[in-house]
Structure 1
Amino acid sequence: MYNRKESERLHRRKLMKTKLIAVDLDGTLLNDKQEISVKTREALQKASRLGIKIVPCSGRPFPGIKEYLDQLDLQDPNQYVVAFNGALVLNAQGNAVVEELLSYQDFLFFEKIAQQLKANFHIEVSDKFITLDHFINYYLSRESWLTRMSIEVCGFKDIAKDLKFTKAMFSGAPSEMERVYRHLPKEVIEKYNVSTSDKTLIEINSKQASKGNALKELAQKLNLRQDEIMIFGDQKNDISMFDVPDFYKVAMGNAVLEIKKRANYVTRTNNEDGIAYAIRRLIFNE
């Protein structure tokens, strides 16, 4: 018979050695108003004071993450973030310590697919979006606002052949993204890391770039064991973290089923201080 209290007691014993907490942003750290709640901020700051590293892990670029670092008082150069779904790991000053980038040839490949599928396509570099589309749809505009990054519309001849970029993206209405995803060539799925953070975006990274791989590399740099890491997430672009066997995996109450099935623990939703609830119960023993 399942005993919730006994299960949580065993979890707490294991998690006394937690040295790093990795948190997704949208739908996890942030509530639906795009805010860190007071209880969540206080719980993470308390963990930080106890010497536990707090690492935001997001599909967002660094400019779209930095304000939340500031809110959590994580400005020290020895604090880190995982950005662009794992294409970059940076310190709190924005200096990259891990890079898994795409190239000009990748850009040509995806631009051709976009034309074939008649899909809105753009790429992300470190500080802006670049697109050949002269029509900027609502979904890219919203992403620009959320990430605090500008949109640059270029002609094909303006794209440098030594281009390096973090992520390719298709954007559109949910039904449109379902159509695009169904018709992506098999080669895309095989050669790249394809994920979604919501139903209006398809995000494509280098095969080596994922939140899970980025956290594993960061753990090596920090001399941490994988069983000393706790993760929080809610969406399919968090699956790579939830597939690392020794991470302690906490799914938000609002998480998709694929995340909940992989979790060690399911907490409350992002609108119910889910991170704070789990940390207080599992780490602080409150």
Structure 2
Amino acid sequence: MMKVPSIQLVAIDLDGTLLDDDKRITAETLQTIQAVMARGVSVVLASGRPWCSVLPYARQLELSTPIIAHSGAYMADETGRVYADQTLEAAAGQAVIRMLEEAGYYFKVYCRDVFYVQAPIQETLDFSRIYQVPYQAVGKGRLAWLDKPVNRIMIYDRPERIEAVQKLLLPWADVFSYARDSARGLDILPRGVNKGSALRLLCSRLQLDLEKVMAIGNEGNDIEMICEAGLGVAMGNSCSELKTCAAAVTAGNQAEGVAQALKIYVLQE
């Protein structure tokens, strides 16, 4: 039987993990998280979304812990107190943006809680509406001139185009980090930044041993977080790479996977 550490903090991914396919926290998951917190265990949300898009769920759960947003590039609590705000190196970021524009990719440039595009497409409108994130269109070929610190660039395209762009990004391999959040999405982040590095920073501030942390996720941008935690749990709907590195696999997000994992490894029911 797997030896389970005494869990003091649980880090949970949002989409495909905490939320069902309708972007909701189910009643059972909510009750289970409340039971976990009643035992003195902290809960942290860790997402690729901007902070403003995660905040409503943190408030629903009545969390006071910092939110890990932008796949680790930004971290702030529900009052807006900032714990980390990491941005892309400006010159290299501009060069990558120019390359993406010239190659005809659709991508979003995230500056804290706003994203910028050349021109809106249906994905822009849908994403802004569903995830409640404001956007601004700056015009074709104008994103490289954006005079703002950039937390993250997110490329969204067909899977084969995402595979191809990774080769185009090789000249900047020593400058940025990359994370796949789906077959059609690729994140460009500051070097060394990911959910795992953010979790490590948070635990250092809280003077908490990572061995007493449980992390739950489902996509490629959760891998470092799963590996950093003392107990990494993959959702049943996870990508195969995440399942390989996780210590345990729970049910999927449509089958109360988060609640199941919390009951087994924290509440020990």
TM range, normalised to the smaller chain? Answer: over 0.9
Gaps of 5+ in 2: none
The 8 Å contact of residues 125 and 165 in structure 1, kept in 2 or not, is answered as yes
* 1:152 corresponds to 2:136: yes
The 8 Å contact of residues 45 and 73 in structure 1, kept in 2 or not, is answered as no
Residues 105-160 of structure 1: per-residue CA shift (max 9 Å, x gap): 233112221133211122001121112x22x2333333323331121112539945
The two structures, once aligned, show a CA RMSD in angstroms of 1.9
Which residue does 2:50 correspond to in 1? 61
Q: 1:217: Cα distance to partner?
A: 0.4
Mapped partners of 1:144, 1:205: distance in 2: 21
Q: Secondary structure at the match of 2:58?
A: helix
Change (3 A) 1:157 1:201: closer
Mapped partners of 1:158, 1:192: distance in 2: 17
Q: Secondary structure at the match of 2:182?
A: coil
Output the amino acid matched with 2:19: L
Mapped partners of 1:169, 1:254: distance in 2: 22
Residues 178-213 of structure 1: per-residue CA shift (max 9 Å, x gap): 3333x3231233321111212222111101311000
Mapped partners of 2:35, 2:50: distance in 1: 26
Residues 27-58 of structure 1: per-residue CA shift (max 9 Å, x gap): 10011111111111111111112111110000
Mapped partners of 2:144, 2:192: distance in 1: 28
% identical aligned pairs:
25
Q: 1:243: Cα distance to partner?
A: 2.7
Match of 2:158 among 167, 173, 177: 173
Q: 1:266: Cα distance to partner?
A: 0.6
* 1:46 corresponds to 2:30: no
Output the amino acid matched with 1:282: Y
* 1:107 corresponds to 2:93: yes
Which residue does 2:220 correspond to in 1? 236
Mapped partners of 2:194, 2:267: distance in 1: 30
Bigger-Rg structure (1/2)? 1
Which residue does 1:3 correspond to in 2? none
Which residue does 2:203 correspond to in 1? 219
Q: 1:103: Cα distance to partner?
A: 4.2
Residues 224-251 of structure 1: per-residue CA shift (max 9 Å, x gap): 001010000110011111232x521011
The 8 Å contact of residues 104 and 160 in structure 1, kept in 2 or not, is answered as no
Which residue does 1:123 correspond to in 2? 109
TM-score (norm 2): 0.92
* 1:35 corresponds to 2:24: yes
The 8 Å contact of residues 109 and 154 in structure 2, kept in 1 or not, is answered as yes
TM-score (norm 1): 0.87
Output the amino acid matched with 2:26: S
Mapped partners of 2:122, 2:191: distance in 1: 28
Mapped partners of 1:189, 1:145: distance in 2: 33
Match of 2:249 among 266, 283, 286: 266
**How do 1:137-148 and structure 2 match up within 5 A?**
137-148=121-132
Which residue does 1:86 correspond to in 2? 72
Change (3 A) 1:31 1:281: same
Mapped partners of 1:138, 1:194: distance in 2: 25
Output the amino acid matched with 1:112: R
Which residue does 1:278 correspond to in 2? 261
Output the amino acid matched with 1:231: A
Mapped partners of 1:157, 1:231: distance in 2: 35
Mapped partners of 1:21, 1:105: distance in 2: 37
The 8 Å contact of residues 97 and 143 in structure 2, kept in 1 or not, is answered as no
